Amino acid sequence: MRNMEVKKALGLYFVMGTPNSGSQDPLAIVEAALRGGITCFQLREKGSNALEGDALLGFAKKCQALCRLYRVPFIINDDVDLALAINADGVHVGQDDEQADSVRQRIGPDKWLGVSTHNAQEVQLAQSIGADYVGLGPIYPTSTKLDASAVVGTTLVKEIHTAFPDMPIVAIGGITLATTGSIIQAGADGVAVVSAIASAKDPQYAASDLSKTIHSLLE
Ligand code: TZP
Ligand code: MG
């Protein structure tokens, strides 16, 4: 069942763009994260110095090739044209991006569609237009997304998991190894992180540590 496949892929969901790579080589971070055991990768190319045009296309193709090597779904944030151009595995959109129902129409039924949500009403709407999973957050304060909305905590994860038991849920925002356990226990199928891996001194080690914790709780 697609649901189960999606839930499994959400386990350790790494989100990154070149602006999140600091002084390290962004592609090396993606590869390290894959070696460390991430289960999904989202290219989220946002913020100052974000790549555009051919540079973005080239970087996306390199990330996609790596993800294919590790058999990890490759999702594009908020850029349906790019996702279609390279035949990505899915698209993720927020509430302020292109409308999810229009995205679903453009990408067709096979590609995964993820939608960022902040309350039951948004989850209901996402479900009705055929979203494959919802992102919930920011769970904790984060400095990675400057326009992040109010912190929702693990309470929202519990609420959504109870109200929508079949909907795959990934939590995002300020998540670290220390808080991963409480998020999974609240009912999330996985955690999405940027800085916990991208800003780690050793991204492979960080991913592997998170992966072990998540899988010990999900088994
Ligand atoms: N959406 C909500 S919070 C966030 C996004 C993309 C950023 C999460 O980054 P970090 O570094 O894991 O807090
Ligand atoms: Mg967005």
Ligand (nearest to CA of 103):
2
Higher pLDDT, 87 or 148: 87
Cα(142) to centroid(ligand 1), Å: 6
Q: What is the pLDDT of residues 50-79, one digit of tens each?
A: 999 999 999 999 999 999 999 999 999 999
- Residue among 27, 41, 32 nearest 71 (CA): 41
What the block records as the tokens of 168 is 């795959």
The span from the CA of 137 to the CA of 154, in Å, is 9
- What 8-state DSSP symbol labels residue 199? T
What's the average model confidence in pLDDT over 185-192?
Answer: 98
- Let me know if 104 is a catalytic residue: no
Q: What is the pLDDT of residues 80-133, one digit of tens each?
A: 999 999 999 999 999 999 999 999 999 999 999 999 999 999 999 999 999 999
The span from the CA of 152 to the CA of 46, in Å, is 23
Q: Is the CB of 138 under 6 A from ligand 1?
A: yes
| Single pTM value for the model | 0.98
Q: Tell me if 127 sits within 8 A of 145, measured CB to CB.
A: no
What's residue 182's pLDDT?
96
Cα(94) to centroid(ligand 2), Å: 4
Q: Is the CB of 148 under 6 A from ligand 1?
A: yes
219 band by pLDDT with thresholds 50, 70 and 90: confident
Atom of ligand 1 nearest to the CA of 142: 13
What's residue 91's pLDDT?
98
Q: What is the pLDDT of residues 22-57, one digit of tens each?
A: 999 999 999 999 999 999 999 999 998 999 999 999
- Residue 215 has φ and ψ, to the nearest 5°, of -70, -30
What's residue 1's pLDDT?
83
- Residue among 71, 59, 3, 58 nearest 29 (CA): 59
Higher pLDDT, 35 or 146: 35
- What 8-state DSSP symbol labels residue 200? S
- Residue among 25, 129, 105 nearest 115 (CA): 129
- What 8-state DSSP symbol labels residue 70? T
Cα(216) to centroid(ligand 2), Å: 31
Atom of ligand 1 nearest to the CA of 199: 11
- Let me know if 44 is a catalytic residue: yes
- Let me know if 158 is a catalytic residue: no
Atom of ligand 1 nearest to the CA of 15: 6
Using a CB cutoff of 8 Å and minimum separation of 24, what contacts does 74-82 make? 74/41, 74/43, 75/40, 75/41, 75/42, 75/43, 75/112, 75/114, 76/42, 76/43, 77/15, 77/17, 77/42, 77/43, 77/44, 77/45, 77/46, 78/44, 78/46, 79/45, 80/106, 80/107, 82/56, 82/57
What's residue 139's pLDDT?
97
Q: Is the CB of 211 under 6 A from ligand 1?
A: no
What's residue 181's pLDDT?
96
Contacts of 114 (CB under 8 A, 6+ apart): 42, 75, 90, 91, 92, 93, 131, 132, 133, 134, 135, 170
What the block records as the tokens of 41 is 């990768």
Cα(46) to centroid(ligand 2), Å: 9
What's the average model confidence in pLDDT over 150-169?
Answer: 97
